[in-house]
Amino acid sequence: MDLLDGATVVVTGGASGIGRAIARAAADEGADVVVGDVRESPRDAETTTVELLRRETDADARFVECDVTDRAAVERLVDAADDFGGVDVMVNNAGIFRGAPFLETSAETLSEMLDVNVTGTFFGAQAAAERMVDRDAGGAIVNVSSIAGLRGATNAAAYCASKGAIQQFTAALAAELGPEGIRVNAVYPGTIRTAQAIRDSDTLPDADAEAAVAAENPLRRVGEPADVADAVVYLASDLADYVNGATLSVDGGQFATGG
Ligand SMILES: NC(=O)c1ccc[n+]([C@@H]2O[C@H](COP(=O)([O-])OP(=O)(O)OC[C@H]3O[C@@H](n4cnc5c(N)ncnc54)[C@H](O)[C@@H]3O)[C@@H](O)[C@H]2O)c1
């Protein structure tokens, strides 16, 4: 299928992990892709995302260095999509996790996580929506939250706060941008095998830990970046033409079953 044929997709945090898989899945579905990230070299692979797309897909692709907390950098990122006809799909995926017990969470840690996870998502959506409204061609925005945006977790108060904010932000935009033909949805990944889960959050530090997480999941495995990417492609595509403001868990049933 060519679910995103002719579309231009911008992905933040697209150098690594879930963002890289989203870029790949979008390219496989016929989109051109602009990858924004603070780093071009991936945290978890040899080749850059743009090299991967150029080598293995027919997509046009380019990288733009972009810290999503920097409004001007986000504007430049989204403007780079003009080379491919302008942004049709904005995926606000960049996010960080800094674990700490609540009583030991510093103001710096709280600010850092809110800046990247909330302000970065806000800036990305705003920059994309401005251009979509100007072009009057509609569009789709997909925000990447987390199961931690739907339920609590220990050592993750700031992360849960930041990811929970994305749910209400997404709902607000669905109301405000729907009349402009812009659909805004969010995905809520469970435990996905990326550098964030392996190194940052210590959820999957080794095979034993992964087996324990998998055993608790109704589908008896942890998630892969491609699992999330497929859900994002669906929400970005015309298949989801009447889907707006949705909360789509991509977690093997982890949240629904209380995990
Ligand atoms: N891995 C999981 O288990 C999991 C679960 C739920 C939600 N998520 C969310 O999915 C998203 C992607 O996470 P991942 O697991 O692929 O992480 P990752 O660390 O593997 O990749 C994140 C990418 O974002 C980039 N990034 C970080 N800060 C940035 C900034 N300020 N500006 C631009 N780019 C920045 C990093 O350089 C990196 O390339 C995040 O929002 C994360 O919170 C991940």
Task: Write a three-state SS string for 60-81.
Answer: CEEEEECCCCCHHHHHHHHHHH
- Domain architecture of the chain: domains with CATH: 8-191+224-250 (3.40.50.720)
Spatial separation of the C-alpha atoms in residues 228 and 95, rounded to whole Å = 14
Nearest CA to ligand 1 atom 1: 192
Residue nearest to atom 40 of ligand 1 (CA): 95
How many helices and strands, by DSSP H and E, does the chain display? 9, 7
Structure pTM?
0.98
Assess contact for 120 and 68: CB atoms under 8 A.
yes
Nearest CA to ligand 1 atom 30: 67
| Annotated catalytic residue, options 16, 145, 162, 201 | 145
234 counts as catalytic:
no
Mind listing the pLDDT tens digit for each residue in 234-255?
A: 999 999 999 999 999 999 999 9
Which of 10, 11, 12, 16 has most ligand 1 atoms within 8 Å of CB, for mutation?
Answer: 16
Pocket of ligand 1 (CB under 6 A): 12-13, 15-19, 37-39, 43-44, 66-69, 93-97, 116, 120, 144, 146, 189, 191-192, 194-197
The pLDDT assigned to 201 comes to: 85
Q: If you take atom 19 of ligand 1, which residue's CA is the nearest one?
A: 196
The residue nearest atom 43 of ligand 1, judged by CA position, is 95
pLDDT at residue 13 is higher than 80:
yes
pLDDT the model gives residue 235: 99
Which of 194, 210, 224 should be mutated for ligand 1, with most atoms under 8 A from CB?
194
- Provide the pLDDT for residue 69: 98
Q: What is the mean pLDDT of the chain?
A: 97
Is there a contact between 59 and 33 (Cβ–Cβ < 8 Å)?
yes
pLDDT digit string, tens, across residues 59-93 = 999 999 999 999 999 999 999 999 999 999 999 99
106 is catalytic: no
List Cα–Cα distances, 63 to 11, 56, 69, 75, 216, in angstroms.
Answer: 10, 16, 17, 14, 38
Least confident stretch, 40-49, 74-83, 141-150: 40-49
* 41 classed as catalytic: no
